[in-house]
Every structure is written in C-alpha cells, then in structure tokens.
Structure 1
Amino acid sequence: MHIALVTAGGAGMFCGSCLHDNSWARALREAGHEVTLIPLYTPLRVDDEDFTSTRVFYGGINVYLDQYLPGWRWLPRWLTRGLDAPRLLRWATRRGVSNNPAELGAMTVAMLKGPRGPQAAEGAELVRFLARDLRPDVVVFSNMLLCAEVERLKSVFAGPVFCTLQGDDIYIEGLREPYRGQVLDLLRPIAAALDGVIVHSRFYAEFMQSYLGIPREKFHRLPLAIDCRGHTGRPKPVGSPPTIGYFARLAPEKGFEEFVAAGVALNRRRQNFRLLAGGYLPPQHRSYVDDALKRAGPLGSRFDYAGSPDTLAEKVALLSRCDVFSVPAPYLEPKGLYVLEAWANGVPVVQPGHGHFPELLEEVGGGLCVPSGDPQVLAEAWDELLRDESRRRALAEQAWREVRTRHDLPALASASERLFAACAKRTAPASRSADGRPR
C-alpha cells in the first residue's frame, strides 16, 4: 500500500506533530509499505532520521507573498517555485518566522478558502501532485488546517482521504475574532468531505465531535507512538539529590509556570531535590517564561534550564537525568508524546487528570494523575513518589516495559494497516483524471 502523509513544517522548531508524523512514516515503511511524507510551508525539523520528501508545497515565502504582495499570486509557478527550495526556507525560518496564531488570522482564513483564496495556485499544485503524479492509495493530512483542498482533491482522487487531529483547537482558540469564527465556519464543510478522522485518544474524539460537528462514525483511534529504539535510558535508583524533570514547549498551555510553582512549594517541604527543564521557547512567550523563572528564585542553583536539545541523543540524556517527570499542562492535551518519551527512558510521571493523560496512565501505568492547576497538590505527589522508592521504581519498570508493547512503532503500523485496508476496500482503487472520469 502507498500512503501519502501531508504534514506541516514547524518553522524551524521541534513540533510534536511533525515528530510523530515522521515516526509514523518510518513505522509504515518498516512494515513494508511505500510512504511519501510531504512537508508544507517549511521543511520539518526532527531529532532522528528525516523521512520527508525533498519537495515542499505551499512554501512559506510564497504563501506570505501571495497574501500580502499585490499581483504575486498571478505570477506563473515556474517563476515563483524557486522560493520553495528547502535550503532557502530553512534560512528564512532562522531569521524569525511567527507561528503565533494571534498574528496569523487573516492568512489562516485565506488558506482555508482553498480554490477561492490567494494561495489557490499552490493548492492546485498539491492536488495535481497527489492525484496525477504520486497516485497513492491513501492520503492523510496531519491537521485540519491543512485540508483546504480536500474537496478539490476528492474530485480527482478516488482513494480515502483522512485527517489526523492533533491539537487543532489550541491554534484556532489562539486566533483573534473575527478570524476564529470564520475559520470554524470554513472547517466544518471541509471536515464533512473527509472519509475519516484519526485521533489518539477517546477524549479528543468526543471533544472534536462537538467542536467541529464531525459525526462519531468518522472517528478512528490509532495509538500514539514513538520509536523506542532510540530511547536508551533505563529505570534506575533515585538520584542524590533526586531530579524532577520537564520537557516540552515552554508555554502557558504546557504549564511551565505551574511546574516552577510546584518546585517552590516542594522547597517548603524538602530541599534535597533539583528541577530540570528543557524545551523550545517560543518568542511570544519570553516574558511569560521570564516571570516564571523569577519565581524560581528560592531554588537558586537547584533549578536548571537546559535549553532545547538538538538531537535525540541529547534529549535522551536530559530525560535520563530525571527521577520523576511532569508537564502539568492546563490545556486538555490530545497527545502527550513527552510522557511516552519519559516512560521509554525509565522515568515515572505525574500528570494532570484530564485530556489524554488518564487514558495513557490507565493503559500503561507508570505514574500518577493529580488535579490540574494546583501546584501544592503537584508538589505533594512528587514528594510522595520520591519518599517511596520501591513504588517509584516499580512504576518506572512498568512504564518502560509497557510503552514498548503498546506505544512503539509496530503497534502504530499494525493499527494503521487495519484502518487503511478497511477503508481502501470501500473506495475505488484508482485515481481519476482532472475532469473526474476514472482512469
């Protein structure tokens, strides 16, 4: 089977959805399938082997010029395509590219207009590539905001078209009005045109049914997965002093401020511990992080921000220093890859009791769930695990073992195969020509 995965580049940052899509491509290839991972906007940045194709569609420079430079959209594509070169796009992202939804409302609306918007030429090019040149058996878009051309694609492509929902709502809710409402209005008919919607949790399926008005029968759940082979950490005795770790984007939705506040609360109970944080710092959240770090003053040198690791080995080294791990996200997380990564390196977790976390902990064990938004309760849970070494170690061992059974790449590949095979049987096997006639 040939699967096309259409994903969005992270504008130079590590993006959980990008990392998962890259791992998904690897899983399917190792299971014997042909996979084409197609980046949009910018090349992907991953910390492992990159499985993306070299061609970037909807190159970010052209998308911007289509939107804001009068007449640019009418230039022939042979004249503008050079601006989609991956090397040029990487250079542009290093010079600073905003991915702040509060600044991107007008462009998001324009993109979702598809054939009626200023980026119509780029959309037509992607549709031609998928339906005429690539001709896969299945197409999967990695989020709903990439699906502007689904209706045009389905007029010339007979295979099933899916979309994976991986946190689309947090971007949409970050848009200013009137753009937020316009985006929701544009997305609902797009969602109706899809053959299926993929999620990683029961929670997010139920939430998005209401949020976008998608019928329950369109949802399919696949396991969240990582490639555990690269995660070489093992359960170990608690350190002296013990280390409590955080590894995620430094942002309000991930709860970095609550992580710091819980450390300060724990400091009133015990002083023999360290806090270790790592992850990407978005430019729009610098003042938020600065404020949180000021509150970490009572911890002194026992708080360490390790930056954003560039490689998988550096990430594993950071996680392997931890004895307990927490990302106390107030956002109702639909994925939580960082939990799998902590488990894969033998570290138990303490997570909020909402979003995907209760489901993960029910499946794997490996930690505790606590109420969200209460740093004192979080600190007490950390202290509880650090004082009971036999329990902490047992949770670490269970998590290390179970994540390799339930959330490794073979589990994702097997579930994907079953889904795509079942849906492909319900659709015609060949693409159609540009006028909609079967080939």
Structure 2
Amino acid sequence: MKIVHISPGSGGTFYCENCLKDTALVLALRRLGHDCLVTPMYLPFFLDGSEIAEDSPVFFGGVNTYLQQHLPVFRKTPRWLDQMFDARWVLKLAASREGSTQAEGLGAMTFSVLQAEAGNQAKELERMIRWLREQEQPDVIHISMVLLAGLAKPLKEALGVPVVCSLHDEDVWIDKLDGDYAQQCWDQIRRCLSHCDALVTVSHYYRDLMSQRLSLSNPPQVVPVGIEHTGYELAEFANPPVMGYLSKLCPSLGLGIFVDAFILLKHRPGLEPLRLAAMGGLTGSDRDYVAGLRRKLAAFGFEQDAVFHEKLDREARIQMLKSLRVLSVPMPGGEAFGTFMVEAWAAGVPVVQPDAGGFRELVQQSGGGRIYDNTTPEGLAAALEPLLRDADLARSLGEAGRSVAQQEFSVDTMAERMVNIYESVV
C-alpha cells in the first residue's frame, strides 16, 4: 500500500510527542512493506527518525506561511524567493522562537490554513498538490493532526483517494487562540472533517472529548501511541534515588511544580540525597524560566543535585531513564496520551501523574504507576515519596508497566492497527 503521511515538524528544539509518534509510525509502516511517503509541514524533522523526510520538501514552510499571512505581497512571490525562506537553517532558527510553537497571536493564521484554497497560503497548497501529483498515485492520505484538516477536501479532489485524519491534543492549541478565532477554527474543523473517510485518536479519553466538542456522530477509532522498545535499558534503581521529568521544559507542563516538589522532598528525613533530572528542550522565554528555577534551587543549596539535560535525542533519553527511580510530568490539565510514560515503562520506570487527561486510562491499563488528585507541589511530593523510599515498590510498578507497554504500546502494534484502518477506507 502506498501511503502519503502529512505531518507538521517541530524543528527538533523540544520533546514533541506528535513528531515522535509520526516518525515511529512511518518507519514501522515501511518495515511492514508499505510505501510510506512523508510530506512535512511548517518545519523539518530533526529528532528520532528525521531521515524519513529527507527526500521530501517542507510544505507550508513556517516562515513563508507567516509572511503570506501578514504581507499580501508574499502570496504572489516566485518560488525561487520562497525557497530561500524554506532553507533548513532558516526553519531551524524559526523553530527556536517561542512564537513558532505557541498558539497566542496565531489565531488568524491557524484559521487561514484551515481554509486551505480559500486561505492566504493557497499557493502553498497548490505546490503540495503539484508535488504529490508527480509522485506515484497513493492509496490513502493520512493527515496527522486535525489542525491540518483543511487539506482533506482539496487533496481528496485532486488525487481521488481516501483521507484519514488523526486527533491528538489540538484542543489545547485551539482554545488558546486569540479573539473569536478559537470558535471559528472549531466550526471550520467540523466542516473539514466531513471530507475525511476515517478519524483516529490516541486514547478513549480523547475520543470522548473530541466527539463531544466536534459533535461527531461517528467517534474516532482509538490507536494508542507506540514506540520502538528495542534499545531501552532497564533502570538500575540505585541510590541515591533520582526523580525524572521528560517533556518540554516550560511552566504549562508542570516543571515548576516538579521542582517545588523536589525541594519539599529534599527537606524530609532520609531523602536528603535525592536527585533531580529533567529533559525535554525549550524555546523562547522558557530559557529565562528554567534559569529562574536554577536560581531557586541554588537558593536552597540544591543546584548540584539537579540536572537539566540539554540533549533530547533517543540515546540521551534512554540514558536518563536508566538512572531514574520514578518519572513525573505533572501538567495540571493533562493531555490526550503521554508518550513520555511509555518511554519510562520501556525502561521499567514507574510514573506518577495527576488525574487529568488520558493519564488515568494509561496507568489503569498498565499498572505502571500512581495517579494523584492534588496538583500542588505538596500533592506531587506525597505521591512520589513512597516510590522514592521503596525501590522494590518502584521496580514492581515499573515492571508491570513495561510488560503491558511492550504489547499494547509498541510501534509495530500501532502500525498494524493503522493499516487496518487504511484498508477499511481504500
């Protein structure tokens, strides 16, 4: 089967779960013998599996998309000029800016992209269609996020093939859009999804949430995220214990709560040697935020006990996970899935997560951790403490998570489930 997979890149500056999922899926589909062509949007892939898109140009390049939104002259510029702004080094620089990955101020542009041929980036859509027509006719197109659902109708009409669309945490972005754009985008997405032949999401929690918000008569099918488990080393559960964080280093994902819980735990008898390890990359003003956390740790004399890793490639993640006693990303609002949880389980590391989003669903299915209600630093500290004090308890929970993750959250399982969906619409 020939599959065109359309996916936005993040530029590789932070831990992007959608990017990791998409690259892992494409590689697994190719191992199964399918011809999977990747068409990246906005930014290139720079993290795990970035080689999957080396033969494809970037479409709707982040800089060109921005310029075409705000300066009408760029909607008619020749390709040789646009190509300068699509250079990898230019897009890499753009990805490091906070505004390129934050919803605030991007309402008009988000809505314009959803409008596809009626939007300000119509020439980018025309270029994508021309390029895809030059390739071998695909059997199916997979749009990897609902914010790109505006592509469904024109691509389906131009290529005459079915379209599958994924849903994964887009509500967080849409709800942060300025002015009336959030509601306009929700309304436009409802119209766009009528042109999709199948919808898929990553958890039952998110299926139910988006079915309600989009008034879907046919709920999306659930295909949990899977990772490649090969290469992960089992955690050593050595002393002193290390509590770990694996996600973008920013306030909205609970990094401040995590650091404050660490400080509380360090003051408790027997936990004075506790260590902290955090990884996930950052952009823009997040650098100042992390610097502030370092100063707070230094004020307590704990700066030597906390490490904020700069690398976030797969090998770096494997090495950090191997050193942990427990992992937590205490984002108060939760999210649709939590790939960092599956990565922790691949190393036999238990997780401690707030009762939000899809976290409870995953922990209940795997038995690989603890869920807590109080989203304050005190609540997190109370949930972490038993696992930090009892290595055997932490190991048993981590082993339970690892056993289930190898079956239910493997990349091969994810790919096989996706192929079943593709075949149902072809």
Give the TM-score, by structure 1 length: 0.89
Deviation at 1:400, TM superposition (A): 2.5
For 2:418, the equivalent position in structure 1 comes to: 416
Q: Amino acid of the residue matched to residue 10 of structure 1?
A: S
C-alpha distance in 1 between matches for 2:49 and 2:156: 33
For 1:40, the equivalent position in structure 2 comes to: 41
Q: Report the count of equivalent residues.
A: 421
C-alpha distance in 2 between matches for 1:303 and 1:160: 53
Please say if residues 235 and 400 of structure 1, whose CA atoms lie closer than 8 Å, have aligned partners that are also in contact.
no
Please say if residues 207 and 219 of structure 2, whose CA atoms lie closer than 8 Å, have aligned partners that are also in contact.
no
Unaligned 5+ residue runs, structure 2? Answer: none
Moved more, 128-137 or 385-394: 128-137
Match of 2:209 among 190, 207, 210: 207
For 2:343, the equivalent position in structure 1 comes to: 341
- 1:213/1:131 Cα in 2 relative to 1: closer, same or farther (>3 Å)? farther
C-alpha distance in 1 between matches for 2:164 and 2:133: 15
Deviation at 1:364, TM superposition (A): 1.7
Deviation at 1:19, TM superposition (A): 1.2
Please say if residues 277 and 305 of structure 1, whose CA atoms lie closer than 8 Å, have aligned partners that are also in contact.
yes
C-alpha distance in 2 between matches for 1:349 and 1:23: 22
Q: In structure 1, the residue corresponding to 2:125 is in which secondary structure? A: helix
Mapping for residues 203-242 of structure 1, pairs under 5 Å: 203-215=205-217, 217-231=218-232, 233-236=233-236, 238-242=237-241
Mapping for residues 377-388 of structure 1, pairs under 5 Å: 377-388=379-390
Q: Do residues 153 (structure 1) and 148 (structure 2) align? A: no
Please say if residues 8 and 41 of structure 2, whose CA atoms lie closer than 8 Å, have aligned partners that are also in contact.
yes
Deviation at 1:82, TM superposition (A): 4.9
Please say if residues 245 and 319 of structure 1, whose CA atoms lie closer than 8 Å, have aligned partners that are also in contact.
yes
For 1:370, the equivalent position in structure 2 comes to: 372
Deviation at 1:171, TM superposition (A): 1.1
C-alpha distance in 2 between matches for 1:235 and 1:181: 46
Q: In structure 2, the residue corresponding to 1:47 is in which secondary structure? A: coil
For 1:31, the equivalent position in structure 2 comes to: 32
- 1:112/1:372 Cα in 2 relative to 1: closer, same or farther (>3 Å)? farther
C-alpha distance in 1 between matches for 2:136 and 2:285: 38
Match of 1:115 among 99, 111, 117: 117
Mapping for residues 351-370 of structure 1, pairs under 5 Å: 351-370=353-372
Moved more, 105-114 or 17-26: 105-114
Identity of aligned residues (%): 32
Q: In structure 2, the residue corresponding to 1:51 is in which secondary structure? A: helix
Q: Amino acid of the residue matched to residue 5 of structure 2?
A: L
Q: In structure 2, the residue corresponding to 1:305 is in which secondary structure? A: strand
Mapping for residues 135-174 of structure 1, pairs under 5 Å: 135-174=137-176
For 1:126, the equivalent position in structure 2 comes to: 128
For 1:10, the equivalent position in structure 2 comes to: 10
For 1:98, the equivalent position in structure 2 comes to: 100
Moved more, 289-298 or 367-376: 289-298
Deviation at 1:293, TM superposition (A): 4.2
Q: Do residues 328 (structure 1) and 330 (structure 2) align? A: yes
Mapping for residues 84-95 of structure 1, pairs under 5 Å: 84-90=86-92, 92-93=94-95
Q: Do residues 403 (structure 1) and 405 (structure 2) align? A: yes
For 1:279, the equivalent position in structure 2 comes to: 280
State the Cα RMSD in Å: 2.2
- 1:95/1:380 Cα in 2 relative to 1: closer, same or farther (>3 Å)? closer
For 1:22, the equivalent position in structure 2 comes to: 23
Q: In structure 2, the residue corresponding to 1:350 is in which secondary structure? A: strand
C-alpha distance in 2 between matches for 1:326 and 1:310: 17
C-alpha distance in 1 between matches for 2:157 and 2:119: 18
- 1:214/1:319 Cα in 2 relative to 1: closer, same or farther (>3 Å)? same
Deviation at 1:363, TM superposition (A): 2.1
Please say if residues 352 and 370 of structure 1, whose CA atoms lie closer than 8 Å, have aligned partners that are also in contact.
yes
Please say if residues 335 and 356 of structure 1, whose CA atoms lie closer than 8 Å, have aligned partners that are also in contact.
yes
* Deviation by residue 1:91-140 (Cα, 9 ceiling, x = unmatched): 55467763221122222222222111211011122234335634211111
Please say if residues 131 and 153 of structure 1, whose CA atoms lie closer than 8 Å, have aligned partners that are also in contact.
no
C-alpha distance in 2 between matches for 1:189 and 1:415: 26
C-alpha distance in 2 between matches for 1:93 and 1:362: 36
C-alpha distance in 2 between matches for 1:134 and 1:88: 30
Please say if residues 192 and 214 of structure 1, whose CA atoms lie closer than 8 Å, have aligned partners that are also in contact.
no
Please say if residues 96 and 283 of structure 2, whose CA atoms lie closer than 8 Å, have aligned partners that are also in contact.
no
C-alpha distance in 1 between matches for 2:160 and 2:81: 31
- 1:286/1:306 Cα in 2 relative to 1: closer, same or farther (>3 Å)? closer
Match of 2:395 among 371, 393, 401: 393
- 1:92/1:272 Cα in 2 relative to 1: closer, same or farther (>3 Å)? closer
- 1:95/1:364 Cα in 2 relative to 1: closer, same or farther (>3 Å)? closer
C-alpha distance in 2 between matches for 1:184 and 1:19: 26
Deviation at 1:241, TM superposition (A): 1.1
Please say if residues 366 and 398 of structure 1, whose CA atoms lie closer than 8 Å, have aligned partners that are also in contact.
yes
C-alpha distance in 2 between matches for 1:131 and 1:146: 19
C-alpha distance in 2 between matches for 1:210 and 1:404: 31
* Deviation by residue 1:10-38 (Cα, 9 ceiling, x = unmatched): 14423211111000001111111111111
Q: In structure 1, the residue corresponding to 2:51 is in which secondary structure? A: coil
Unaligned 5+ residue runs, structure 1? Answer: 425-439
- 1:140/1:27 Cα in 2 relative to 1: closer, same or farther (>3 Å)? same
Deviation at 1:9, TM superposition (A): 1.4
Please say if residues 344 and 350 of structure 2, whose CA atoms lie closer than 8 Å, have aligned partners that are also in contact.
yes
C-alpha distance in 1 between matches for 2:81 and 2:258: 50
C-alpha distance in 1 between matches for 2:374 and 2:357: 11
Q: Do residues 257 (structure 1) and 259 (structure 2) align? A: no
Q: Do residues 180 (structure 1) and 182 (structure 2) align? A: yes
C-alpha distance in 2 between matches for 1:149 and 1:419: 19
Q: Amino acid of the residue matched to residue 6 of structure 2?
A: V
Please say if residues 243 and 274 of structure 1, whose CA atoms lie closer than 8 Å, have aligned partners that are also in contact.
yes
C-alpha distance in 1 between matches for 2:257 and 2:44: 33
Give the TM-score, by structure 2 length: 0.92
Q: Amino acid of the residue matched to residue 154 of structure 2?
A: R
Q: In structure 1, the residue corresponding to 2:29 is in which secondary structure? A: helix
C-alpha distance in 1 between matches for 2:193 and 2:374: 31
Please say if residues 2 and 34 of structure 1, whose CA atoms lie closer than 8 Å, have aligned partners that are also in contact.
yes
Please say if residues 145 and 170 of structure 2, whose CA atoms lie closer than 8 Å, have aligned partners that are also in contact.
yes
Q: In structure 2, the residue corresponding to 1:107 is in which secondary structure? A: helix
